[in-house]
Every structure is written in C-alpha cells, then in structure tokens.
Amino acid sequence: MGLDAGGVGLLAGFDVTADAGTLAAQMKGFDVAIVCTGFVPGNPFKMGAAAHAVDNEGVVHLTDAAKAAGVKRVVLISSILTDGRAMGAADTPGFKITNAFGGVLDEKLVGEKHLQASGVEYVIVRPAGLKGEPPKAPLVLAPGNTMASGEISRELVAAVMVEAAFASGAANKVIEIAEEGTFAPGSTPEGVEGFTVGDDRSRWF
C-alpha cells in the first residue's frame, strides 16, 4: 500500500477494541485512516462475540477516535452483502455462508452506519471474495448493494483503498469491487459493462 512513502505510517499495536480516547491519542496528526480490520474466525462458540467486538464496536470506537483526533477521511474495508438483507439477498448462498461466521455481515453493517452518520468524511470499500494471487481480469467497481458474489485479488483491493484515500470523487461513497468474470452463475450485476473500469483510475471514482 506504499508504506515506504513519506507521510504514511502503520499504527502498530492499534487495537480497535480499545476505547475511543485511547485510539484518538494514537491517531493524532493523521489526515486519513485506511482501516483494514476484521475479526478472524476461530472457536465457533466465540465467533459472535469476536465479530461484534471488531467489526461492530471496533469500527464504532475507531470512528469516534478519528473524529476526536481530527482525521479528515476514513477509508473502511467491509464486504459485499454487508447490507444483503436490504438488497433482498438474505437467502443467497453468499450471505448465508458468510454471515454464519458470527453474524459478521450484520455486525459490519452497524459499523458502516455509524461511520456514515458520524460526520467524518468516509469511503466504504466492499470487496468480493478475496484471493491471494495477482489480478487476472479487469476491475469491476459498482455502487453499494449491487454484488452478491465474485472474487478479487487482495493486491487490487489495496490499490483501490489507496486511491480512495485521496480521490476527491470518492468522498462519502460506498463501493463494491470484484474482477470481471468471477461472478457466480445467475448473479452477474445488471449493467456490469458500465461498471467495468479496469486500470483507468479516472473512472474509479
């Protein structure tokens, strides 16, 4: 993500489960926060509590801290189908499987809404399923509540997150991203041709 660039720092030891006051002290002096946190599934009996602590309360704490610290923009990574219930996708395999991990999509939605209502400028990036290899197909970038499936390279997600940090046209947007041709049969977004932006960053936001 360009951490070797001047003026960019990684907040080591930054724990979103800490209180907002503690986090605000660590965020002083930063203009933009790129947030890539998310709970790690583990003990099935504790996943609900973990998802709530990180993806819900953690984002709430971080948002309140950013506001108190004077951070100008928060770029938050989330997930497609976070608002799946509103888009009529609660019965889709993607929503059911993902949300089975501690109700994580429902928890993420609370965090997203708190950020949107906070008054802090935001960009919410909802990637499709993450994969480790380099991108193999053009980027598809659509408005929120558009995608119900798909895959995307972590490398491409990182590029979008960095662009979202500084692009003036990204302010207060919720976007969903995937690679072209990775959608499950029958779930290709309507009008996907218009959302296929590839490497042309002038079309990303």
Residue 107, pLDDT above cutoff 60: yes
Distances, alpha carbon 9 to alpha carbons 1, 31, 34, 71, 125, in Å: 11, 11, 10, 14, 20
* pLDDT at residue 5 in the model: 56
**Average pLDDT of the chain?**
93
β-pairing verdict for 73-77 and 32-35: parallel
* pLDDT at residue 111 in the model: 98
Contact partners, residue 80, CB within 8 Å, separation at least 6: 94, 126, 127, 128, 147, 148, 149, 150, 176, 178
Q: State pLDDT tens for residues 1-11.
A: 444 555 677 77
Per-residue pLDDT averaged across 116-120, rounded? 98
Q: State pLDDT tens for residues 32-43.
A: 999 999 998 888
Q: State pLDDT tens for residues 132-189.
A: 999 999 999 999 999 999 999 999 999 999 999 999 999 999 999 999 999 999 899 9
Q: What's this model's pTM, rounded to 2 decimal places?
A: 0.93
* pLDDT at residue 27 in the model: 94
Contact partners, residue 85, CB within 8 Å, separation at least 6: 95
Query: In this structure, how many other beta carbons lie within 10 angstroms of the beta carbon of residue 200?
Result: 10
Q: State pLDDT tens for residues 57-81.
A: 999 999 999 999 999 999 999 999 9
Structure confidence at residue 12 as a pLDDT band (50, 70, 90): confident
